[in-house]
């Protein structure tokens, strides 16, 4: 087995993407795996100079077959001591040391990029996920345990109306706005502040990350990246005195709109307690029903310690669907 470089314009990359798809099909057989086009778009972003994130890809190859996949993401504007690791082994080749070999390669690549901490996520549909045992075996520590919750659409209109009425009564003086894809220019700087707060205010357990650098330019870079990945993003937001004080985003892959992904939801600290999170989420759900009726399920991830967010999601009808754990390991210099 050899470990070789690859990337979105390499002939091996389709097989590299297939490792991920096979892993996802094995772990969650009733769901469509992430499309290859998504990996390609992310890969291009990583190798395009001047962006917020650099990165590199490796393929574990046995004979002519790609049996393992590694992607390293290297933040450039903040968290410059950290490398995010995506690592998978084709489920037809388990327990042959391929994962271990890719991990060794990860450490070498991260060190040579000047990184001193590795972070990786493990999808855990239920107990006994291979990634959990694998991370433990290699000395990683579990820094954050999140629950995945899914909402099946359409949501009962009575439930939405009742939640909305309560939220409107609790939030006099706030206006709700929605948009698709491009944040209106006058709200762009405020949106960057919300994204910055998201990196510090959402429960992050012991994951070794610092506040993210967010500004208008990075906001536009993210929007271009979502479009390149074939995603449309619906945003609901609350405005007071012309300033954005809360937002929530929903990502819909246009090639597979059945399953949408909840993005960041945040209410600025000084505006909490007015049911704004529920109100803007209801606004987005109405927008989805009107403009993207093919969406059948929304998945969201969050810590159970985040009681206000969990309460909103459960009131909307989200139900538990497994978990996601985040792991880290410090590298010795």
Question: Phi and psi of 331, rounded to 5°?
Answer: -100, 135
Which residue's CB is nearer to ligand ACO, number 91 or number 257?
91
Q: Which one of residues 72, 87, 249, 309 is an interface residue with ligand ACO (CB under 6 A)? A: 87
State in angstroms the smallest separation of the CB of 121 from ligand ACO.
7
- 318 is an interface residue for ligand ACO by CB under 6 A: no
Greatest C-alpha distance within the chain: 66
State in angstroms the smallest separation of the CB of 299 from ligand ACO.
17
Q: Which among 5-13, 130-138, 163-171, 273-281 is the span making contact with ligand ACO, rule CB under 6 A?
A: 130-138
Which residue's CB is nearer to ligand ACO, number 13 or number 327?
327
How far is it, in rounded angstroms, from Cα 173 to Cα 239? 9
- 119 is an interface residue for ligand ACO by CB under 6 A: no
- 72 is an interface residue for ligand ACO by CB under 6 A: no
How far is it, in rounded angstroms, from Cα 63 to Cα 73? 27
- 89 is an interface residue for ligand ACO by CB under 6 A: yes
Residue with the CB atom nearest ligand ACO in the bound state = 131
Which residue's CB is nearer to ligand ACO, number 248 or number 328?
328
Q: Which one of residues 9, 14, 97, 157 is an interface residue with ligand ACO (CB under 6 A)? A: 97
- 144 is an interface residue for ligand ACO by CB under 6 A: no
- 110 is an interface residue for ligand ACO by CB under 6 A: no
Would you give the DSSP letter of residue 174?
A: -
Which residue's CB is nearer to ligand ACO, number 87 or number 233?
87
* b/e per residue 171-182 (b: at least 16 CB within 10 A): beebebebeeee
Question: Phi and psi of 310, rounded to 5°?
Answer: -60, -40
For strands 53-62 and 243-253, give the pairing: unpaired
CA angle (129 as vertex; 28, 132 as ends), nearest 5: 135
Kindly report the number of other CB atoms within 10 A of residue 95's CB atom.
10
- 135 is an interface residue for ligand ACO by CB under 6 A: yes
State in angstroms the smallest separation of the CB of 68 from ligand ACO.
7
Which residue's CB is nearer to ligand ACO, number 2 or number 270?
2
Which residue is associated with the tokens 């999170």? 277
CA angle (329 as vertex; 219, 265 as ends), nearest 5: 30
Kindly report the number of other CB atoms within 10 A of residue 264's CB atom.
14
Residue 74 makes CB contacts below 8 A (sequence gap 6+) with 53, 54, 55, 56, 80, 83, 84, 113, 115
- With residue 317 as reference, give the H or E element that holds it: none
Q: Which one of residues 13, 134, 174, 318 is an interface residue with ligand ACO (CB under 6 A)? A: 134
Token code pair at residue 188:
């762009």
Residue 100 makes CB contacts below 8 A (sequence gap 6+) with 138
Nearest to 56 by CA among 128, 8, 117: 8
Which residue's CB is nearer to ligand ACO, number 7 or number 68?
68
Binding residues with ligand ACO: total (CB under 6 A): 22
Q: Which one of residues 48, 95, 181, 206 is an interface residue with ligand ACO (CB under 6 A)? A: 95
Q: Which among 38-46, 73-81, 93-101, 276-284 is the span making contact with ligand ACO, rule CB under 6 A?
A: 93-101
- 88 is an interface residue for ligand ACO by CB under 6 A: yes
- 96 is an interface residue for ligand ACO by CB under 6 A: yes
* Residues 14-33: x where in contact with ligand ACO by CB under 6 A, - otherwise, as a string: ---------x----------
- With residue 56 as reference, give the H or E element that holds it: strand 53-62
- 66 is an interface residue for ligand ACO by CB under 6 A: no
- Residues forming the site for ligand ACO (CB under 6 A): 23, 85, 87-89, 94-100, 120, 122, 130-131, 133-135, 137, 140, 327
């Amino acid at each position: 087995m050899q470990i070789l470089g690859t990337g979105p314009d390499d002939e091996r990359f389709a097989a590299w993407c297939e490792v991920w798809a096979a892993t996802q099909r094995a772990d969650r057989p009733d769901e469509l795996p992430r499309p290859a086009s998504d990996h390609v778009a992310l890969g291009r972003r990583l190798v395009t100079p001047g962006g917020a994130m650099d990165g590199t890809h490796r393929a574990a190859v046995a004979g002519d077959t790609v049996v393992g996949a590694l992607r390293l993401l290297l933040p450039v504007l903040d968290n410059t001591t950290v490398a995010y690791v995506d690592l998978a082994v084709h489920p037809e080749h388990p327990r042959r040391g391929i994962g271990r070999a890719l991990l060794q390669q990860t450490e070498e690549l991260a060190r040579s990029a000047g990184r001193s901490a590795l972070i990786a996520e493990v999808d855990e549909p239920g107990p006994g996920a291979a990634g959990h045992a694998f991370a433990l075996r290699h000395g990683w520590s579990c820094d954050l345990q999140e629950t995945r919750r899914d909402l099946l659409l359409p949501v009962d209109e009575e439930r939405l109306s009742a939640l909305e009425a309560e939220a409107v009564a609790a939030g006099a003086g706030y206006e709700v706005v929605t948009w698709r894809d491009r944040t209106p220019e006058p709200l762009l700087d405020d949106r960057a502040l919300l994204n910055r707060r998201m990196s510090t205010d959402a429960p992050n357990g012991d994951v070794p990350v610092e506040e993210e650098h967010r500004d208008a330019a990075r906001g536009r870079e993210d929007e271009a990246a979502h479009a390149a990945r074939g995603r449309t993003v619906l945003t609901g937001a609350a405005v007071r005195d012309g300033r954005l004080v809360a937002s929530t985003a929903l990502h819909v892959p246009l090639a597979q709109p059945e399953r949408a992904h909840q993005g960041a939801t945040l209410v600025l600290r000084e505006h909490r307690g007015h049911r704004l999170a529920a109100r803007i989420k209801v606004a987005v759900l109405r927008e989805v029903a009107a403009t993207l009726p093919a969406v059948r399920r929304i998945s969201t991830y969050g810590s159970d310690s985040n009681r206000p967010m969990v309460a909103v999601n459960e009131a909307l009808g989200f139900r538990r669907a497994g978990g996601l754990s985040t792991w880290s390991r410090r590298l010795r210099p």
